[in-house]
Structure 1
């Protein structure tokens, strides 16, 4: 069984959060940065660590570990920020995702993917495009455009505006 809407081989960037491996389409990635100074913005969601200055632009940074109910990301030599472009109803939002480490870029064929698991009605997997097989393990393929709800995107856009 393959994932609906994915009919061709696509490149994915993989990254780690704790012991889990996640992937995002390379086409959504703008750049990868080393840890840099993150300025906190008051009254933002817990998973929003703050904003960074990216060549004169204010970019919100979210901690994916916190977003997924894990412990806060701690700084290490491998910690990095993946800058992605999120398509919203109001256009494109550029944001940084704090991750434990970046792994590799590789191509996944549609036949190497399975739909996101459906485990009852209480588990929301709408932010996942599916599960990809890579070697003997699975990785979670994120749908960056659906990772955040509308209210969260408004908060992130407002944090961007407030910091500017």
Structure 2
């Protein structure tokens, strides 16, 4: 029996790996940290797989696990420690008319919860109710976090100082 669910787990993990990496990268903005988040989520998923495999919406369950791991890590004091003598330079945008680097830089400056809400609402196009269920909060909280996050994004993008250096 164990060999059967291990095979199911491996099949699921291999099929969803890229999707999880994209979500993790969108949340944290760093390829290496995103890989760590995905790896941690998949380890936790493996431990719970015998119970999780019977869940109706496994993808939603795993996305929720990843999101909660991201938010939990952001609360820990070590997440604010930056190693190195100097801050690495952010590469310049490839095209002058491409706003993506500016959006990503502004998104990185948001608090983790607001960032998670905006990513889930607008990049993953999830309704307010699903985002609230994933974050374990009320729909009003999701709406207020969306409003505050968008206001902060607007302020950051309209600021005179370049946010790409932050």
Could you say which TM-score interval applies, normalised by the shorter chain?
A: under 0.3
The structure in which a higher percent of residues are helix is 2
TM-score normalised by the chain length of structure 2: 0.24
Of Structure 1 and Structure 2, the greater strand share is in 1
Higher-Rg member (1/2): 2
